[in-house]
Structure formats: C-alpha cells, structure tokens
Structure 1
Amino acid sequence: MKTITFDQIKTSSIALEFDELIPDEIYSWTEADFAKYQVPIGNSRFPITDFFKITVEGEANGPEEVEMILNGDLNRVKYIGCKMSAGNILCNSSVDLHVGAEMSGGSILVKGDAAAHAGREMSGGYLEIEGNTKEFTGASYIGEWRGMTGGQIVVGGNAGKQCGECLTGGRIHVKGNCDILAGIHMTKGIIEIDGDVNRWPGGQMKNGNIIIHGFLGRLLEGFVLDGIVVDPEVDGVTFPGKYIKYTGDIGLNGKGNLYLGAEANKEKLAEYGELDDEYTSIREYRNL
C-alpha cells in the first residue's frame, strides 16, 4: 500500500486543478516526481510544492494500492478525483467544484462540504461528503444529457438544487434536506432523501425511483397517485415504513416512482382533504 500525503503550505486565490493528480496517474510517483510537477491554475502552471508538502510512503503496483490524503483548506482545489478508476482519496476539508466527477471506481471521502457538480457523470465508485453539497450533485454537465450512470454518492448534510439531474443509474442518498427539482430528467437509479424537499422532485422523469422520507413542499402536476405502500422494495432494497406512491412524469409518459413518507406528510395532506387519519381516502396531491 502506498500513502501520498499532501500537507498544505499556502492557499491560492485561483483554484488549483487536481484532475491530473489521481491514483491512476501518480501510483508510481516518488517525491522527486512531485517536485518536478506543475499544477494548473487558471491558464498557467505553478510548482505543486509551492502549495503542498508531499510525503510518499510505501509502494504500489497499481492505482488500487494508493491512498491520497489531502490536508489543509481545500476550498480552492477543484477536480479532486476527477476520472479516477481506483484507489482512495481522503479530503480533510471542504472542497471546490467537481469532486469525483466522471469517476468510475475507487472511493473519495470529503470531511466537509463540496461545491457544485460533485460526482457529476460518475459511472462507478463511492463518493461520500460528510457535509453539504451545492447544486448538480450526481448530475450531467452543461450541454450533456446524461448524468450519473453508476456508483454511489452519500451526502451527510443537505443537497442543492437539481440533485441527480439526468440520473441514469447508481444511487444517491441525501441524509439531510434537498432543494428543488431533485431527479429532474432522471431515467434510472435511486435517489433517497432522509429530510425535507423544497418542491418539484422528479420533473420530467421517465423512470427510476425517488424516496422522500421527510416533508415535501410541492409535487408537480405530472404525477399520478398510485396508493399507499408498506415497506416497498426498490431495486432489491427495502425501505421500511408507509409511503404514498406516485408515478410519473405523465407529461413524458414516464414510469418513474415517487415514494413520499406518509407520516411526515400526513398533516398537510389531511389539511387539504387529500388524506384521512386512516389513509382510506386519498386524492391527488397537487401543487398545494
């Protein structure tokens, strides 16, 4: 096993780009190799050793035997783990844009928050962010139609808007709350949200599953009430509890499933005459 430790010396006002510094590329590097490397910053390059003291310990026969440890303030370091296929990266700080973007394997742990586009277009591997993420987690990138296709993203805090946009596979688990349009344009995969959702999850979804345990502010018109389900099994995973199930988005002949935690939304639904105390009278849950 090889451990490569980056201890920050100073920060940069312009973000450092770490897409070349992934286990796939540096598993054979020595400290002398890092001393010669220049990191992209904007349209220029500067010695990486101006910003980090780099310590290399152990040997690796491939990227799967590498662990990168990044210490310091990483808020101006972007593309960490971008396109990695193996190995482990530990970020002991919040990070900038595109952490885990297009990764196909390996694991990344961020002990803080992540900026936008975390895990965008990833096809495999495991990305965990202990804090919050901004918009477009696990989503497609500008001009693209396909977002995350595989792997797993876990967000310990809250997620910003359009989490899982264009999701075509894999699983996203948000343990906090989620902003608007989670799962917009999704065609496959699972988005699970433990907390509350602002409004409009699953817009224009064609397939896939969204499970919301918390309170939902508004549901789009394109979802049709299916009924009450208990302990639903979704792609081999059982979600304990009672859920109100909807399908949609019917505007696109969608066959996606939205499971809304019944207990968390019972009071609001009853207030609008959507649901009685025994769940025996349910009508459509529209924009309330």
Structure 2
Amino acid sequence: MKTITFDQIKTSSIALEMEEIIPDEIYAWTEDDFAKYQVPIGNSRFPITDFFDITVEGEANGPEEVKMIFNGDLNRVKYIGCKMSAGEIICNGDVDLHVGAEMSGGHIKVNGNAAAHAGREMSGGLLEITGDTKEFTGASYIGEWRGMTGGEIIVYGNAGKQCGECLTGGKIRVKGNCDILAGIHMTKGIIEIDGDVNRWPGGQMKNGNIVIHGFLGRLLEGFVYEGLVEDPEVDGEVFKGKYIKYTGDIGLNGKGSLYLDAEANREKMSEYGEIDDEYTSIREYRNL
C-alpha cells in the first residue's frame, strides 16, 4: 500500500487543476517525480511543490493500492479524483469544482463541503461528502444529456439545486435538505433525500425513483397521485413506513416514481381525503 500525503503550503487565487494527479496516473511516482511535476493553473503551469509538501510512503503495484490524502484549504483546488478508476482519496477540507467527476471506481471522501458538479457524470465508485454540496451534484455537464450512470454519492449535509440532473443510473443519498429540481430529466437510478425538499423534484423525469423522507414544499403538476403505500420496495430496498406515491412526469409520458413520507407531508393527504387520526404532526417546512 502506498500513501501519498499532500500538505498544503499556500493557496492560489486561480484554481489548481488536479485531474492529472489520480491513482491511475501516479501510483508509481516517487517524491522526485512530484518535484518535477507542474500543475495547470489557468493558462500556465507551476511546480506542485510550490503549493504542497508531498510525502510518499510505501509501494504500489497499481492504482488500487494507492491512498492520497489532501490536507488544507482546498477551495481553489478542482478536479480532485476526476476520471479515477481505483484507489482512495481523502480530502481534509472544502474542495472546489468537479470533485469525483467522471470517476469509474475507487473511493473519495471529502471531510468538508464541495462546490458545484461533484460526482459529475460518474459511472462507478463511491463519493462521500461530509458537508454540503452546491448545484449539479451527480449531474450532467453543461450541454450534455447524460449525468451520473453508476456508483454512489452520499452527501451528509445539504445539496444544492438540480441534484441528480439527467441521472441515468446509480444512487444519490442526501442526508440533509435539497434545493429545487432534484432529479430533473432523470431516466434511471434512485435519489434518496432524508431531509426537506424545496420544490419541483423530478421535473421531466422519464423513469427512476425519488424517495423523500422529509417535507416537500411544492410538487409539479405533471405527477399523478397513485395512492398511499406501505413499506415500498424501491430498487431492491424496502423503505419502512407509509409513503404517498406519485408517477410522472406525465408531460413526457414519464413512468418515474416519487415517494413522499406520509407523516412529513400530512397536509398533502388531505387533498385526497385519506387523512386519519394516525397522522398527528407535520414537520414545519424550512425555506432553503
């Protein structure tokens, strides 16, 4: 096992682009190799050792035997883990754009917040973010129509707008709240949100599943009420409790499924005359 530690020396006002520094490419590198490497910054390149004190310990026969650890303020370090297929990356600090973008395997853990496009177009592996993410988590890139196709993203905090846009596979789990248009244009996969959702999840979705355990502020008109279901099984996983099930988006003849926790969305049950004494409380909506 090889451990490569990047201890930050100084920051840059222009973001460092780290897409070349992934286990696939540097598993055989020594400290001398890093001393020769120049990292892209804007239209120029600068020695990476100007910004990080790099320590290499152990040996690796392939990327799966590499652990990379970044320590410091990584707010101006982007493309961390971009296109990686194996190995492990740990970021001890907030990170910039595109962490885990197009990754196909391995494990990235961000002990902090992530900027936009975290896990963009990833096809495999596990991306964990202990803080919040900004917009377009697990989404497609600008002008593209295919987002995340496989793997798993876990956000332990809140997620910004259009989380899971154009999702075509894999799973996104948000343990906090989620902003508008989660799962817009999705065709497959699952988005599970533990907290509250601002409004309009699943817009123009054709297939796939969205499970919301918290309160939904507003639902799009393109979703058809299917009824109250108990312990629904979604992609092989059983969600205990009672859920309001919708199908949509009918504007695109969509067959996606949206499940809302019945207790957290008690007032929606009254629209269908199905409220009963069992539901005695409602979570107050928090404006995200």
TM-score (norm 2): 0.95
Between the aligned residues of both structures, percent identity stands at 83
Counterpart of 1:170?
A: 170
Matched with 2:41 is 41
Deviation (angstroms), 1:7? 0.4
Task: Tell me, in whole angstroms, the C-alpha distance in 2 between the residues paired with 1:242 and 1:271.
Answer: 15
Shift of 1:269: 2.3
Query: What pairs up with 1:1-288 in 2 under 5 angstroms?
Result: 1-266=1-266, 268-269=267-268, 275-277=274-276
Indicate the residue corresponding to 2:285 in structure 1: none
Q: Is the 8 A contact 1:269 1:275 kept in 2?
A: no
Whole-angstrom CA distance in 2 between matches of 1:199 and 1:151: 26
The 1:255–1:261 alpha-carbon spacing in structure 2 relative to 1, beyond 3 Å, is: same
- Give the drift of 1:275: 4.0
Q: Partner of 1:199: helix, strand, or coil?
A: coil
Cα separation, 2, equivalents of 1:269 and 1:187: 26
Kept in 1, the 8 Å contact 2:70–2:92? The answer is yes
Cα shift at 1:278? 5.5
Q: Distance in 2 between matches of 1:76 and 1:194?
A: 30
1:277 alignment partner AA = D
Per-residue deviation, 1:277: 1.7
- Secondary structure of the equivalent of 2:251? helix
Paired with 1:270 and 1:210, the residues of 2 have a C-alpha distance of 18
**CA–CA separation in structure 2 for the residues paired with 1:142 and 1:230:** 39
Cα distance in 2, alignment partners of residues 250 and 215 from structure 1? 22
Could you tell me whether the CA contact under 8 Å between 2:227 and 2:245 is conserved in 1? yes
Does the CA-based 8 Å contact 1:152-1:170 persist in structure 2?
yes
Amino acid at match of 1:119: G
1:37-91 Cα offsets, whole Å, 9 max, x none, are 0000011000000000000000000000000000011011000000000000000
Cα distance in 1 between the residues matched to 2:241 and 2:268: 17
What amino acid maps onto 2:187 in structure 1? T
RMSD of aligned Cα (Å):
1.3
* Secondary structure of 2:263's aligned partner: helix
Contact 2:110–2:129, Cα closer than 8 Å, also in 1: yes
Q: Please say if residues 193 and 211 of structure 2, whose CA atoms lie closer than 8 Å, have aligned partners that are also in contact.
A: yes
Q: How far off is 1:271 after superposition? A: 6.2
**Aligned 8 A contact 2:262 2:269 in 1:** no
DSSP-derived class of the 1:251 partner: helix
CA distance in 2, matches of 1:35, 1:276: 67
Rounded Cα–Cα distance in structure 1 between residues aligned with 2:175 and 2:272: 30
Shift in alpha-carbon separation, 1:278–1:205, aligned structure 2, 3 A = farther
Q: After superposition, give the CA deviation of every residue in 1:73-111 in whole Å (9 maximum; x if it has no partner).
A: 101100000000000000000100000000000000000
Once the two structures are superposed, residues 125-149 of structure 1 have per-residue CA deviations (whole angstroms, 9 ceiling, x without a partner) of 0000000000000000001000000
User: Match of 1:222, SS?
Assistant: coil
- Matched length: 279
